Chains A and B, each alone.
Chain A
Amino acid sequence: MENRRKWLGAVGLGVSASLVLGACAPPGGDGSDSGNSVTWIVNQPGNGWNHNTPEGGSVYGIQFLHDVLPYTGYWGPDSEWYWNEDLIVNEPELLSEDPMSWELEIHPDAAWSDGEPIDADDFIWAWKMNSGDEDLCADNCNSRGTTLPSKFESVEGSDDGKTVTITMKEGELFPEWFVFGEDGLYPSHLVADQFDLDTPEGMLESSNWFNENQPTVSGSRYVMEEGAELDGRVIKTLNEEYWGDKPEIGEIILQVNTEEGSWVPALQNGEVQGASPATWSDDVINQLDGIEGVEYGVNPGASWEHMDVNMKHDWLSDEALRHAIFTALDVENIATRTYGDNFPDITPRTNHVFSESSPFHEDVITELGHGSGDIDAAVEILEDAGYELDGDSLTRDGEAVPPIRIGYTAGHVAREIIAELAQADLAEIGISLEIDTTNDLGGTLAEGDFDIMLYGWSTTPDFASSPEQYWHSESGSNFGHLDVEEVDEVAVKAQNTSSPEEAAEHANEAARLVAEEAYVLPLVDTPTFYFVDTNYVDNVEDNNAQSRRALWNQHEWTAVD
């Protein structure tokens, strides 16, 4: 008996000692002992290492790769374009408009961490990869976006590859020509040894290779450590070979964490130091309130909510009915009820292409009375069009307007609130809305299986291709089947100019026409939030103009002693 007690005592002592010693792990950096280490939450896994592909080009993939791949420039929090002066010297300007052409001068010291220079070959690889030209890249190299590079006639190097000249095809113009290379360039020399990049098949193989292998060399401030996991953890440390100024934060650990309920506990426990998640959460924001040393901010995000009408619907094909519906909706109330609790400054969105903070923004909604919640005006529109409102029932030529389905992604809290508020508003004009949620938003939209749909678009400050994508009669993303020749024309014009100002004029014109058709009603900019433990790191700033969000200026973050 005595022996057993001694044995149990020893086990108890061992367990206690383990826990006490275990408690000696330093706070911050997820237990790492590296100096100036910051662990940052990424709220979804990435699926590939090549950001030019759909798998790798998610917000999360781009966040993993940020500041490992050299980038030509970026959109600042003020939605202005800035060149990355560490990589591109002498601000590029257009050389000619016919054909459109410009030159990029690469920093003479710019080199990959393995010693190879960053040069024109890396730009040429990026062009072929996204050219959408089967003669340059088989299966389009599985590119996720070919809009700009598909307009290039050539990308050529000179001065030992340190000057890149890009020339567009005859007659082609594009106002946002400067964004080529903004997500980062790949080290083409790594694939040039393995594949024949002059053949479409070789290019496809190289694209796949970059997608399957994490970058081992860096052309920017940080280098990615081996063993990075797209669905787990990516560790970035200083690139000792970087030719520019070194960041103060020596190690950035990007930790995938899909469970928002665990973010604040992990922050309080020193396991993470911050996040700028892609999703909105009132719960998380409420938990952050009052935690000492934790700074958080809420801002209008890059996504915006809107209500789309299916123009092929028997009743909704009537423009008057659509106008009445949009007029009866009280969007101010919708904005307040959805995001107002934690973002009291929220206002209705009044342009499809530009948010209010954009210098190109024009209000195309208010003058039409859409979103005003003016029931009298809505009833007048209906009566002028031959409808009769008798109590709760709306009829036209003796036929009652049937219930109309309103769809949204099942479980989306904000859209559920919007749908319920819309039900109440439209009941006032005799229209019954039936909520019809979907688990497959993309599929439902693609099949056109909806009457009215609530969903969101993501935007960046480059806007020129948006009108065509949203509303051109031949666009696969024009889910409600708007077919207006004038809209098609201005949407195409928005892309075919070298001037951003002129493109914005066309985009605003397209938005105005779409509003006049009562096809899409913009509702609100979905707010985003970020939080950071300023006990460990400072100078963090969110940036909704970029997919990188608060990570955009990680090189400017400062460590707190």
Chain B
Amino acid sequence: MLVYTARRIAVAIPTLVAASVLVFLMVDVIGDPLADLRSMQPAPDPATIAAAEERLYLDRSIPERYWLWLTGLGGNGDIGILQGQFGPSVRGGNYVIGAELWAGLHVSVRLVSAAVLLALGLAIISGVISAMRQYSKLDYTLTFVGFLALAMPTFWLGALIREGGLWINRTTDSTFFYTIGANSARVDDMTGWQYFLDSSGHLILPTLTLMLTSYASWSRYQRTSMLEVLNSDYVRLARSKGVRYRTVVRRHALRTALIPLVSVTTVAVAGIIDGVVIIETVFQWRGLGYFFIEALTHKDSFAIMAWLMLSGFFVIICTLIADLLYGVLDPRIRYE
């Protein structure tokens, strides 16, 4: 497995480099990062614009800029992904791309991990129940809910859930849920318990939204997988030997039926990082999604590159983990 892993990583590196070239070219054509500066009122001094061009390396050719971004050789010490420098931001020296990306990742992981855990739990439970009671009213209901969540645009689902939270607050004349941000102001003054309550109040609505978007597809996977296993010979054998149905499901069928879901989930987690863009916008979380949207708004090319590279890195790593998990979960699979 070690050799297989090393081989996969070796393949991943040129894939990432090729993707970076493509993305760099695409980012370069989205527009002039200094367009806002040039059209400012009153017009800035030409020397100010020239200094900004120099700072952002816009006075170099595209191949030169890419090489700089990759290696940092010939730069001012603020660029070179291989040296851990993501490059200067069009938003000025205050905006350190690496630090902002890290801070955004921290926030997004909080949201994503809560949502993934909940979605996974709910998907397993509803998938198993649906399979065990195939074509029952409960199965149809869960299927309907799943498809509804799947079909609904994320921003719309988020807005609906936010309205639901507001309705509960209004009805109870209390503030159970918050609609913007990850925390209230002045968290430093809060006790641990107050902080927990405040964080929970901010976390619930976006988590519910993200959870529902993921739950919908995962529950379908789980239902299909469970049905397949329940109809397999070894389950029928166990039943014919007189083992109780619940025991068969819990000890024999469920473990096998989880294998496809685990691999699907692993790959999907990488996708959630991208999907969180909309939810973070709706609920105004300062995570990776917000980072990306702001980078696009400002045509901040090095920040966009940083986000895309992180996203690409996640996809490659998660795909690798999914592949390796196959072998761990299913002893019949061996890597050479």
Contact A23-B46, Cβ < 8 Å, known A440-B35, A440-B299, A441-B35: no
Q: Is B162 an interface residue (CB 8 A)?
A: yes
Q: Is A319 an interface residue (CB 8 A)?
A: no
Among candidates A34, A139, A255, residue contacting B180 with C-beta atoms closer than 8 Å: A255
Contact A23-B186, Cβ < 8 Å, known A49-B94, A259-B284, A445-B39: no
Q: Is A45 an interface residue (CB 8 A)?
A: yes
A235 close to B176 (CB less than 8 A): no
A446 smallest CB distance to B (angstroms): 5
Q: Is A458 an interface residue (CB 8 A)?
A: yes
Residues in B whose Cβ lies below 8 Å from that of A31 = 175, 178, 184-186, 198
Among candidates A48, A147, A258, A261, residue contacting B94 with C-beta atoms closer than 8 Å: A48
Q: Is B172 an interface residue (CB 8 A)?
A: yes
Size band of the B side of the interface?
Answer: 35 or more
B186 smallest CB distance to A (angstroms): 5
Q: In residues 39-91 of chain B, which contact A (Cβ within 8 Å)?
A: 39-48, 51-52, 91
A39 close to B39 (CB less than 8 A): no
Q: Is B330 an interface residue (CB 8 A)?
A: no
A370 vs B151: C-alpha distance when bound (angstroms): 50
| A interface, over-half SS | loop
Q: Is B234 an interface residue (CB 8 A)?
A: no
Residue of B with least CB distance to A22: B197
Contact A259-B43, Cβ < 8 Å, known A24-B174, A268-B166, A440-B299: no
Residues in B whose Cβ lies below 8 Å from that of A475 = 43
B82 smallest CB distance to A (angstroms): 26
Q: Is A232 an interface residue (CB 8 A)?
A: yes
Among candidates A27, A212, A441, residue contacting B39 with C-beta atoms closer than 8 Å: A441
Give 9 CB contacts A-B under 8 Å: A18-B197, A21-B197, A25-B198, A27-B175, A30-B185, A132-B45, A140-B51, A143-B45, A261-B155
Q: Is B247 an interface residue (CB 8 A)?
A: no
B179 close to A262 (CB less than 8 A): yes
A145 close to B91 (CB less than 8 A): no
Among candidates A54, A134, A261, A442, residue contacting B159 with C-beta atoms closer than 8 Å: A261
Find the residue from A140, A147, A255, A459 having the highest chain B CB count within 10 A.
Answer: A140
Q: In residues 468-500 of chain A, which contact B (Cβ within 8 Å)?
A: 469, 475-477
Q: Is B254 an interface residue (CB 8 A)?
A: no
A82 vs B145: C-alpha distance when bound (angstroms): 61
A554 vs B140: C-alpha distance when bound (angstroms): 57
B184 close to A30 (CB less than 8 A): yes
Among candidates B32, B163, B172, B181, residue contacting A442 with C-beta atoms closer than 8 Å: B32
B35 close to A140 (CB less than 8 A): no
Residues in B whose Cβ lies below 8 Å from that of A47 = 91-92, 94-95
A319 vs B37: C-alpha distance when bound (angstroms): 32
A22 close to B94 (CB less than 8 A): no
Q: Is A32 an interface residue (CB 8 A)?
A: yes
Residues in B whose Cβ lies below 8 Å from that of A21 = 197
Residues in B whose Cβ lies below 8 Å from that of A212 = 93-94
A30 vs B184: C-alpha distance when bound (angstroms): 5
B179 close to A265 (CB less than 8 A): yes
A8 vs B282: C-alpha distance when bound (angstroms): 33
Q: Is B294 an interface residue (CB 8 A)?
A: yes
Q: Is B328 an interface residue (CB 8 A)?
A: no
Q: Is A53 an interface residue (CB 8 A)?
A: yes
A29 close to B185 (CB less than 8 A): yes
Residue of A with least CB distance to B283: A262
Residues of A within 8 A of B (CB): 18-25, 27, 29-34, 39, 45, 47-49, 53-56, 132, 134, 139-140, 142-147, 208, 211-212, 227, 230-233, 235, 253, 255, 257-259, 261-262, 265-266, 268-272, 439-443, 445-446, 457-459, 465-466, 469, 475-477
Among candidates B94, B180, B189, residue contacting A230 with C-beta atoms closer than 8 Å: B94
- B127-169 interface bits toward A, Cβ cutoff 8 Å, 1 = contact, 0 = none: 0000000000000000000000000000100010011001001
A232 vs B281: C-alpha distance when bound (angstroms): 13
A431 smallest CB distance to B (angstroms): 27
Among candidates B37, B185, B294, residue contacting A231 with C-beta atoms closer than 8 Å: B294
A149 vs B234: C-alpha distance when bound (angstroms): 87
Residues in A whose Cβ lies below 8 Å from that of B336 = none
A139 close to B32 (CB less than 8 A): no
Residue of A with least CB distance to B96: A212
Residues in B whose Cβ lies below 8 Å from that of A29 = 185
B190 smallest CB distance to A (angstroms): 9
A54 close to B94 (CB less than 8 A): no
Contact A54-B31, Cβ < 8 Å, known A47-B95, A266-B180, A476-B38: no
A45 vs B284: C-alpha distance when bound (angstroms): 12
Known: A140-B51, A235-B185, A272-B180. 7 other contacts (CB 8 A): A22-B175, A32-B184, A47-B94, A142-B52, A145-B44, A235-B186, A266-B179
B48 close to A469 (CB less than 8 A): no
A268 vs B169: C-alpha distance when bound (angstroms): 10
Residues in A whose Cβ lies below 8 Å from that of B51 = 139-140, 142
- B253-290 interface bits toward A, Cβ cutoff 8 Å, 1 = contact, 0 = none: 00000000000000000000000000001111010001
Contact A446-B35, Cβ < 8 Å, known A30-B184, A32-B185, A49-B94: yes
A172 vs B244: C-alpha distance when bound (angstroms): 98
B286 close to A442 (CB less than 8 A): no
Residues in B whose Cβ lies below 8 Å from that of A23 = 169, 172, 174-176
A261 vs B179: C-alpha distance when bound (angstroms): 11
Residue of B with least CB distance to A148: B42
Residues in A whose Cβ lies below 8 Å from that of B177 = 269
Q: Is B196 an interface residue (CB 8 A)?
A: yes
Residues in A whose Cβ lies below 8 Å from that of B201 = 19, 22, 25
Contact A442-B39, Cβ < 8 Å, known A21-B197, A146-B45: yes
B174 close to A469 (CB less than 8 A): no
B165 smallest CB distance to A (angstroms): 8
Q: Is B36 an interface residue (CB 8 A)?
A: yes
Residues in A whose Cβ lies below 8 Å from that of B91 = 47-48, 55
B175 close to A25 (CB less than 8 A): yes
B95 close to A271 (CB less than 8 A): no
A365 vs B294: C-alpha distance when bound (angstroms): 39
Residues in A whose Cβ lies below 8 Å from that of B92 = 47-48, 53-56, 211
- B1-42 interface bits toward A, Cβ cutoff 8 Å, 1 = contact, 0 = none: 000000000000000000000000000001110111111111
A127 vs B45: C-alpha distance when bound (angstroms): 15
Residue of A with least CB distance to B50: A139
Q: Is B217 an interface residue (CB 8 A)?
A: no
B158 smallest CB distance to A (angstroms): 9
A257 close to B38 (CB less than 8 A): no
Residues in A whose Cβ lies below 8 Å from that of B94 = 47-49, 55, 211-212, 230
Among candidates A34, A54, A147, A469, residue contacting B37 with C-beta atoms closer than 8 Å: A54
A142 vs B56: C-alpha distance when bound (angstroms): 14
Q: In residues 82-123 of chain B, which contact A (Cβ within 8 Å)?
A: 91-95, 100
Contact A262-B52, Cβ < 8 Å, known A22-B175, A443-B31: no
Q: Is B310 an interface residue (CB 8 A)?
A: no
A55 vs B34: C-alpha distance when bound (angstroms): 11
A144 close to B44 (CB less than 8 A): yes
A486 vs B155: C-alpha distance when bound (angstroms): 54
Q: Is B200 an interface residue (CB 8 A)?
A: yes
Residues in B whose Cβ lies below 8 Å from that of A34 = 186
A164 vs B299: C-alpha distance when bound (angstroms): 42
A140 close to B47 (CB less than 8 A): yes
